[in-house]
Amino acid sequence: MPVNSELLEILVCPETKQRVTEASAETLENLNAEIAAGRLRNRGGEALSKPIAEGLIREDGKVLYPVDDGIPVMLIEESVALG
């Protein structure tokens, strides 16, 4: 379930207050390959075990916040560092 467009307009990164946009299919595919290989951890240090179906990327492209069943999880420790 995609994030509501009105909600997306007001969401910002809780850490830097930068805007967020929906992650591309390619980004999600790359992250899910890392999850499948057991190499991806969130910023809280927890290993991710289930694929990420949706995510929001911070404007600078350095952090992804997962979306769980249409609900953005905007917690710094649940986010994933990119790159």
| Dist. CA 45–CA 38, nearest whole Å | 13
**To which H or E segment does residue 7 belong?**
helix 5-10
Question: Which two tokens mark 82?
Answer: 């990119």
Tens digit of pLDDT per residue, the chain (83 long)? Answer: 778 889 999 999 999 999 999 999 999 999 999 999 999 999 999 999 999 999 999 999 999 999 999 899 999 999 999 98
| Dist. CA 19–CA 50, nearest whole Å | 26
